[in-house]
Amino acid sequence: MQEHGERRGFLNSPSRMGDESAYSTPMPIRQLSEPMINQIAAGEVIERPASVVKELVENALDAGAARIEIVTAGGGLNLIRVTDDGSGIPEKELPLAIARHCTSKLADDIHDIRSLGFRGEALPSIGSVARLSIRSRTANGDSAAEIGIEGGRVSAVKPAAANRGTTVEVRDLFFATPARLKFMKGERAESSATSDVIKRIAIAFPAVRFTLAGSDRSTLELPATDDSAEGRLRRVAQVMGADFPANAITIDAVRDGVHLAGHVSIPSFSRANALQQYAYVNGRPVRDKLIAGAIRGAFADALPRDRHAVTVLFLTLDPAIVDVNVHPAKADVRFRDPGLVRGLIVGAIREALANAGIRAATSGAAGMMAAFRPGAASYAHAGPANGHRSYEAAYRASGFAGFDPARSPQRPLDMGLEGGGFPDTEPGNGGFGENDQAAFDAGPLHSADARAGQDEAAETLLGMALGAARAQVHENYIVAQTRDSLVIVDQHAAHERLVYEALKNALHARAVPSQMLLLPEIVDLPEEDAERLALHAETLARFGLAVERFGPGAVAVRETPSMLGETNVQQLVRDLADEIADNDTVDTLKERLDRIAATMACHGSVRSGRLLKPEEMNALLRQMEATPGSGTCNHGRPTYIELKLADIERLFGRR
């Protein structure tokens, strides 16, 4: 009897676990009550206050609102009020608005969804776990009307005073389901989640004004712009910061009826997490694993694994080839052809990065400005250790990726002057390497005609993106001059990227050399995984991996890429099978080969400490200008920093 009870105990409530007769009498099947049905639905739709705000704001946008005001208290648990100037709800339709599966947004075709909401679950779900009131007035209405619902109990419609539009007020969220309150975070965390929801929605609707006010008297205001490309970028700047447009690349590509538009950051402008990656499908904010993976794959060569690009991407496609009805929260989508979408995103971003030329992140110049300002380090009073920490702290505060104090060009230059250097300067160690620079002496002076030719060539170099090399500092940093800026280049990081790109191009220009295994490696797999690998066998062979079917549920590996050396074939094949199942690609193998090429480039590039002649430095600068992605090294660190002449003049008080 004990064994029987253990098998069936999970079907019974804890209060009946000790009653032996309960196990022998199953509960009868019965129809759930309407309030309980709504509370179950609320568990999927309404996870936290931010979910309520999302649903209400989406309703306002579907109603054509141009201004939306959100007010919260207690992180949204005490109060959420959303007011809009949309079309409003007619008085006779108010009871239907809070009834389950009633909506004005869905026609007869579930595959043709062109609105944000369509399920007809949000308002009744909210009303089942909170105190909800809706006050609305249409454009042609003489007066407004109001309806309320408290814990699932609906009150009668009554007259009210209101302007055109709708005001939805939610109080005491989850009072009817106290257990859910235990899972809520603090007021600050809930307010932050609500703010993030508003920002995500606002990017897709730049022509709408959004205002969010909280009980801590903080206010988020996003003024309306317009639907033009410039207006969208201004709205993005409102949400993501004014420095994003200056560090962004425009994306615009079309493939087989799918249009991708938006902006991505240059590789040297990155973040430590993916929170500033915004994706939209037909105007709907989504958090899709396929899109996130495609962005990561597009930046695989330019960013380290722990850094993330800043992106705003809009996918526009026929509603019939994308399913937004995957989850009640509508944050997940499914594409009919995921390979097409992934390929479009990866290809468009990589092409845009290649066509953008060489660009430095403005955050690098900001960090340099912060470091060189007279009050930034307080060297005169702080002492050696404190001074260095101040420089490093200022640099970190700039948000610049890849900070390395030991190699940072932002360290103060050791002038090597008696009594005038910095506290940790070694005697005779000239920061500008005067003795080393003597090696650049070209000999006796040239004739006037020769000097004129050199001046003309130098003027041409000044017009280049990275300018003309002027000096080598600390045997690793090339100082160059353009017509309006000063450029500092990390010679090792720059050459590392150049060598890596050359190796990669050679690697993918022809079939990858392979080595035959003495005995074929047999890998047991589920039948569907083996079939997927067999379909991609031709592509895998191009990367040096020979795979063929070996009976049901197995593949035989006869050759592996020579570059991999001794490798775990079983794990490699299983990883490839998983990736094909998820994304229909074999990028795992390509990424492994690229990582080996990156390691080879690191060891085969110009080392720090090597003296370069002027012509070598200029040749390196010209190669950087001609190589896509040369603004960062293989590890995601910047290869150069540009400081505008205007910024330098401000440092000296000239502006």
pLDDT of amino acid 404: 41
pLDDT at 397 over 90: no
Q: What six digits make up the tokens of 521?
A: 């490696």
pLDDT at 345 over 90: yes
Q: Which pLDDT band, with edges at 50, 70 and 90, does 389 fall under?
A: very low
pLDDT of amino acid 203: 95
Give the residues across from 643 on adjacent strands.
486
pLDDT of amino acid 395: 36
pLDDT of amino acid 49: 93
pLDDT at 20 over 70: no
The H-or-E segment that residue 234 falls in is: helix 229-240
Query: Going edge to edge, which strands form the sheet with 640-644?
Result: 468-473, 477-481, 485-490, 640-644
Q: Tell me the domains of the chain and their CATH numbers.
A: 1-30 (no CATH), 34-221 (3.30.565.10), 241-355 (3.30.230.10), 432-655 (3.30.1370.100)
Alpha-carbon distance of 609 to 544, in angstroms, equals 38
Alpha-carbon distance of 584 to 529, in angstroms, equals 11
Alpha-carbon distance of 453 to 647, in angstroms, equals 31
pLDDT of amino acid 429: 39
206, 229 Cβ separation under 8 angstroms: no
Please state which of the ranges 201-205, 247-251, 573-577, 617-621 shows the lowest mean pLDDT.
573-577
Alpha-carbon distance of 539 to 87, in angstroms, equals 55
625, 639 Cβ separation under 8 angstroms: no
Give the residues across from 55 on adjacent strands.
none
496, 504 Cβ separation under 8 angstroms: no
Task: Measure Cα distances from 28 to 16, 25, 31, 32, 36 in Å.
Answer: 15, 9, 10, 12, 17
Alpha-carbon distance of 82 to 71, in angstroms, equals 7
pLDDT of amino acid 204: 93
Q: What six digits make up the tokens of 448?
A: 């006037």
Alpha-carbon distance of 9 to 18, in angstroms, equals 10
196, 50 Cβ separation under 8 angstroms: yes
Q: Per-residue pLDDT tens for 73-84?
A: 999 999 999 999
Task: Measure Cα distances from 510 to 112, 513, 548 in Å.
Answer: 45, 9, 21
Alpha-carbon distance of 615 to 298, in angstroms, equals 34
If you average pLDDT over residues 455-465, what whole number do you get? 74
pLDDT of amino acid 499: 81
CA-atom Rg of the chain in angstroms: 31
Angle between the N-to-C axes of helices 187-204 and 229-240, in degrees from 0 to 180, rounded to the nearest 10: 170
pLDDT at 210 over 80: yes
23, 12 Cβ separation under 8 angstroms: yes
pLDDT at 317 over 80: yes
pTM higher than 0.75, yes or no?
no
Phi, psi of 640, rounded to the nearest 5 degrees = -155, 160
pLDDT of amino acid 279: 94
Share of the chain above pLDDT 70, in %: 73
Alpha-carbon distance of 21 to 127, in angstroms, equals 38
pLDDT of amino acid 211: 95
Alpha-carbon distance of 508 to 593, in angstroms, equals 10
* Range with the largest mean pLDDT of 168-182, 242-256, 509-523: 242-256
Q: Which pLDDT band, with edges at 50, 70 and 90, does 213 fall under?
A: very high
* Range with the largest mean pLDDT of 370-374, 437-441, 548-552, 648-652: 548-552
Contacts of residues 215-222 at CB distance under 8 Å and 24 or more positions apart, as own/partner, are 215/72, 215/73, 215/74, 215/75, 215/78, 215/187, 216/187, 216/191, 218/191, 220/195, 222/198
Report helix, strand or coil for 288. coil
Task: Measure Cα distances from 147 to 154, 174, 208, 403, 627 in Å.
Answer: 8, 19, 27, 57, 64
129, 154 Cβ separation under 8 angstroms: no
Alpha-carbon distance of 466 to 239, in angstroms, equals 32
* Range with the largest mean pLDDT of 245-249, 250-254, 448-452: 250-254
Residue 445: CB atoms within 10 A of its CB come to 8
Residue 385's Cβ-count burial label (10 Å; 0-12, 13-18, 19+) is exposed
Please state which of the ranges 7-16, 127-136, 459-468 shows the lowest mean pLDDT.
7-16
125, 38 Cβ separation under 8 angstroms: yes
Task: Measure Cα distances from 193 to 198, 265, 275, 540 in Å.
Answer: 9, 24, 11, 43
Strands 153-154 and 248-255: unpaired
pLDDT at 607 over 80: no
Report helix, strand or coil for 495. helix
Query: Going edge to edge, which strands form the sheet with 554-561?
Result: 514-524, 554-561, 546-549
Share of the chain above pLDDT 90, in %: 29
Report helix, strand or coil for 578. helix
Q: Per-residue pLDDT tens for 83-104?
A: 999 999 999 989 988 887 777 6
If you average pLDDT over residues 496-523, what whole number do you get? 82
What average pLDDT does the structure give for the chain?
Answer: 78
Which residue shows structure tokens 């539009």? 165
Q: Per-residue pLDDT tens for 430-450?
A: 333 444 444 444 444 445 454
Of 531, 434, 519, 422, nearest to 474 (Cα)?
434
More confident of the two residues 278 and 494: 278
pLDDT at 544 over 80: yes
464, 482 Cβ separation under 8 angstroms: yes
Q: Per-residue pLDDT tens for 324-342?
A: 767 666 677 889 898 899 9
